[in-house]
Amino acid sequence: MGEKLAGVILSGGGSTRFGEPKAFAKMNGKAFYQHAADALSPFTEEILIVSHPDLKQRFEGETSYPVIQDQEPYAEKGPLSGIYAAMEQCDAQWYFIVACDMPYFNSDAAGKLLHHRSKEVQGVIPSSEGRMQPLAAIYHKDTLPHLKNQLSSGSFRMMEWIERFHVKVVTEDVSGIDKSAFQNINDQKTFVLLKTINDKA
């Protein structure tokens, strides 16, 4: 489309249920954040990681990707804080957002989703098993004013922001993306189970 696409890996969560920073957990020998980077790198001109101060140094010791932090006054308010920080600090027209805790989201899934980007929409969001997946989605820079308004209202809910602009929701029968791409790993029990399945595969 002739417009810059930036890849944004959201890695700023506290990982409370997981018990350790999820971004650095490994699946198939690679850290979660690297799986996200591998999914985005064939299509993006730039990849950046949004994290919090406690992890910034560790990221910088492991990767050359730029690491940015949430910006005040909206720091540590969830995924919207990270998206806001990325849009404010990275000059692009489109932002491909991927949460770091979906290690099965790959370049095949990313390419299939990008196919649905157009000038008629400000966001492309996949849907799997009847649920929208806004943390593996593409958003245009034009959504930033809506994001500012959303944050300044004191509401940090993703769905309220998404309702403010024109979104194309792409179901799995249209995208061809397998539901496993959106497997979210929130706790050690899920992580160990999936690792066991992978090891046996």
Q: Binding site membership for GTP: which residues?
A: 10-12, 22, 70, 101
CA distances from 75 to 12, 13, 122 (A): 10, 11, 24
3-state helix, strand, coil in the chain (%, to 5): 40, 20, 40
Give the span between the Cα atoms of 196 and 27, in whole angstroms: 10
Query: How many residues are listed for the chain in this entry?
Result: 201
Annotated binding residues: 10-12, 22, 70, 101
Q: Is the dihedral of CA 50, 196, 111, 184 positive or negative?
A: negative
The two three-digit tokens of residue 61, written as one number: 């010791």
Contact predicate 49/67, CB 8 Å: yes
Q: What angle do CA 104, 36, 190 make, to 5 degrees?
A: 40
Per DSSP, which regions of 70-150 are E strands? 94-99, 123-128, 131-132, 136-140
Binding residues for Mg(2+): 101
Q: Phi and psi dihedrals of 114, rounded to 5?
A: -60, -25
